[in-house]
Amino acid sequence: MSVVNQLYQLQEVDMEVESNEQALRRKTSQLGESQEVVRVRTELSSQHQRLDELKRQQLSAEWEIDDLTTKITTLEQKLYDGRIKNPKELANLQHEVDGLKARRDQMEDKALEIMDQTELAEAGVANTSSELKRLEGEWHHQQQGLTIDIEQLKAVLSDLEQKRQLILARIDPQIVSLYQELKRQKGTAVAKVDQGMCRGCRISLSTSELQWVRGGSLVRCGSCGRILFLA
C-alpha cells in the first residue's frame, strides 16, 4: 500500500475518532440531575407544605368550634336551669349566647372553606406525585441509555486508537509530522483528487501533478499544500 493510501486511511480513522469523541462529550454532558425533575420535586415539596398548613388551620378551627360549643352549652344551662331570675341578667346571658353562636357559625363556614381547599391541595399533591414518578422513571431510563452509549463509544474509541497506532507504525515519522502539521493548519491533510481537481481547494491540477499522483508518489497540491490522494 502506498504511503498516500496509508495517510488517507489515517485521516479516515482520525475523522472517526473526532466524531466519536464529540458524541462522547455530548452524552457525558447529559449525565446527571434533570432540571425538570428538580423543578417538579420542588413544586411537590411546596404543595406538601401548603397542605400541612391547611390541615393545621382546619384542626385549629375545629378546636375553636368545640371550645365555643362547650361555652354555649354551659351558658344555656345557666339560662334555662331557673336559678337566674333577674330579667336583665337573663337578657345579657342570652345576648352572650347569641354572640357565641354567631361566632361558631362563622367558624363552621371557615372550616368548610378550609376543607374544600384541603381537598384541592390533596388532589394537587397526588397529581404532582404521579408526574414526578413518571419524570423520574423517564430520567432513570434515559440515564441508563446514556451509560450504555458512553461505554460503547469508549470501546469504539479504544478500537480506533489501536487501528490508528497500527497505521502510524507503518508510516515514516517525518511524513506523519507533515500530516499532523497540515491537519492542524487546514483541518484535513489529505485531499482527494476528483476530475483532475483537488477536493481540498477545488483548483485544477497541472498535467504533471496528475501524472505524479497517478504514479503513486506523495504529491502536495500546488495551491493548498494538501497531500493529494487518488482513489
Q: Contact residues for Zn ion (CB under 5 A)? A: 198, 200-201, 221, 223-224
| Shortest CB 170 distance to Zn ion, Å | 25
Q: Residue 176 or residue 201: which is nearer to Zn ion going by CB?
A: 201
CA distance 23 to 198: 30
Q: Residue 46 or residue 206: which is nearer to Zn ion going by CB?
A: 206
- Is residue 9 within 8 Å of residue 167, measured between CB atoms? yes
Q: Residue 74 or residue 204: which is nearer to Zn ion going by CB?
A: 204
Q: Residue 128 or residue 229: which is nearer to Zn ion going by CB?
A: 229
The sign one gets for the Cα dihedral 131, 135, 138, 140 is negative
Phi and psi angles of residue 204, each rounded to the nearest 5 degrees, phi first: -70, 145
Q: Residue 182 or residue 224: which is nearer to Zn ion going by CB?
A: 224
Look at residues 96, 67, 69 and name the one whose alpha carbon lies nearest to residue 84. Answer: 96
| Shortest CB 144 distance to Zn ion, Å | 47
End-to-end CA distance of the chain: 12
Q: Where are the alpha helices (DSSP H) in the chain?
A: 3-29, 35-80, 87-169, 173-186, 207-214
| Shortest CB 229 distance to Zn ion, Å | 11
Q: What is the dihedral of CA 93, 97, 103, 109, to 10 degrees?
A: -170
| Shortest CB 192 distance to Zn ion, Å | 10
| Shortest CB 5 distance to Zn ion, Å | 18
| Shortest CB 191 distance to Zn ion, Å | 5
Copy the grid coordinates of residue 69: 360549643
- Is residue 229 within 8 Å of residue 190, measured between CB atoms? yes
User: Which strands sit side by side in the sheet containing 227-229, from one edge to the other?
Assistant: 203-204, 197-198, 190-194, 227-229
Q: Residue 41 or residue 199: which is nearer to Zn ion going by CB?
A: 199
